[in-house]
Amino acid sequence: MKTQTKTITALVILALYLISMVAFASALSVDATYVTLYPGEQGSVKLDVENTFSFDIEDVSVGLALNDVPFNVVGNSEKTLDDLDTDDDDSASFTLRPSTDIVPGDYSITYVVKYTNAEDSNATSQTKNGSFGIRVSARTNLDFSIETKGASTDSAIVGQQGKISLKVINKGLGEVKFVSIQVFAQGYELISTDKVYIGNVASDDSDFATYDVIFKSSAPVLSAKVEYKDFDNNDKTQIINLPVKVYTQEQALSLGLIKKPNYIIYYVIGGLLIIWFIWKKIKKARKNKKRRNGGN
C-alpha cells in the first residue's frame, strides 16, 4: 500500500513538473507584416505580439535592433505595448527607411521583446529575441537608344544595307533577367531574325540587340516589344517606338558622308576601251588584208 502511495505521489509530482515545464516552455508569439520597401523610401513594418504563456505579463515593449543592417527607423525604435493577459495580443508599428545605396535583396531584422511576469511579485524583466525576414525590392528603370551603321559607312543611307542596334540601359538598382526583344519593321526590310535574346542586364549596365536590315525610308521607326523578368521575377512587357536616323543619298552627299562618283574617270576609261577595241579591229582587218594580198 505504501509502495502504491509513493508511486502515485511520484506520478503526481512528475505531472505537475511537466505542466510547469510546458507553461514555462510556452513563449511569446511574434509575427511581422510589412509593405514592400525600396531603397531610400520609407515603409511600415508591424509586429504582432501574442502572450502564449500560461500567465499574464506586463511592462511589455518591443524594439528593433538595426546595428548590422542598412536600415534606419523613422521615430522611436522601441514601442511600449499594453499589459497582455494569457492569449491576449497587441501590435507595434515601425517606419523603416532602407539606405539609398542598399543592395536590393532579402534581409534579416532582429527584434527584442521585453516583459515581466505579472503574477510573480519577485519577477524580473525578461527578454525574447528573434528575427524576421524583409525584402528590399528594386523598381525597374529601363532606357533605350538607337545606333545605326551602314554597309560601307558609319551612317545609315536609304537604299543600302546596314544594321540597327537597340541599346538596353538598366538604370534601376536591380537586375533584369531573360531580356528578349522582337522588332516590327517600319521603313526598313529585315534580313535577319526579328527576335533577339540578350539575357540578363545588371544594374548600371547595358546590352545590345542588333538587326541586319535594308533601309527603305528616310524616316523609319524601330517598333519593338521588350520582354523580361523584373527583380521580383514578375513577367514584364514594354512596347517602344523610337525614330531611326537614316540619310537620303542627297543628304549623305551634301554632308560628305559619301563621295560623289567621279563620272569623268568612268568616261575616260570607257573612251579608252572603245578606242582600244576599234584599234584592235583595225589592226586585225589590216592583217587579214595583207594575208589576202600576199595570197594573190
pLDDT tens, position by position, 114-133: 999 999 888 899 999 999 99
Q: Do 200 and 175 contact (CB within 8 A), yes or no?
A: yes
CATH number at 189 reads: 2.60.40.10
Residue pointed to by grid coordinates 583595225 = 282
Q: If you average pLDDT over residues 200-224, what whole number do you get?
A: 95
Q: Do 49 and 30 contact (CB within 8 A), yes or no?
A: yes
Which of 88, 107, 136 is at the close of a domain? 136
Instruction: Identify the CA nearest to 166 among candidates 142, 189, 138.
Output: 142
**pLDDT tens readout for residues 239-290:** 999 999 998 878 767 766 666 655 566 666 777 778 877 877 787 777 776 7
Under the banding of pLDDT at 50, 70 and 90, the label for residue 98 is very high
Q: 213's torsion region: left (phi>0), alpha (psi -120 to 50) or beta?
A: beta
Which of 93, 117, 136 is at the close of a domain? 136
> What's the domain range around 223?
142-254
**Pair (174, 115) in one structural domain:** no
Q: State how many domains the chain has.
A: 2
pLDDT at 12: 46
Residue 97 grid cell = 527607411
Under the banding of pLDDT at 50, 70 and 90, the label for residue 296 is low
Under the banding of pLDDT at 50, 70 and 90, the label for residue 152 is confident
Distances (CA, A) of 42 to 74, 77, 133, 174: 8, 14, 17, 18
Enter the pTM of the model.
0.68
pLDDT at 281: 77
**Pair (146, 95) in one structural domain:** no
Residue pointed to by grid coordinates 521583446 = 113
**Pair (232, 185) in one structural domain:** yes
- Angle at the Cα of 152 from the Cα atoms of 148 and 153, rounded to 5 degrees: 50
Provide the 10 A C-beta neighbour count for residue 114: 17
pLDDT at 21: 41
pLDDT at 112: 94
Question: Of 21-25, 53-57, 255-259, 268-272, which one has max mean pLDDT?
Answer: 53-57
Which of 96, 117, 136 is at the close of a domain? 136
pLDDT at 60: 94
Residue pointed to by grid coordinates 577595241 = 277
- Residue 21 counted as domain residue: no
Q: Do 51 and 86 contact (CB within 8 A), yes or no?
A: yes
Under the banding of pLDDT at 50, 70 and 90, the label for residue 20 is very low
**Pair (225, 199) in one structural domain:** yes
CA atoms within 13 A on the CB side of 63: 14
Asked whether the predicted pLDDT for residue 4 surpasses 60, the reply is no
**Pair (92, 185) in one structural domain:** no
Mean pLDDT lowest among 12-26, 149-163, 209-223, 236-250:
12-26
**Pair (93, 163) in one structural domain:** no
**pLDDT tens readout for residues 35-52:** 889 999 999 999 999 999
pLDDT exceeding 70 applies to what percent of the chain? 83
**Pair (176, 249) in one structural domain:** yes
For residues 276 and 173, the model is more confident at 173
Asked whether the predicted pLDDT for residue 295 surpasses 60, the reply is no
Q: Do 210 and 162 contact (CB within 8 A), yes or no?
A: no
Q: Give the whole-angstrom CA distance, residue 278 versus residue 296.
A: 27
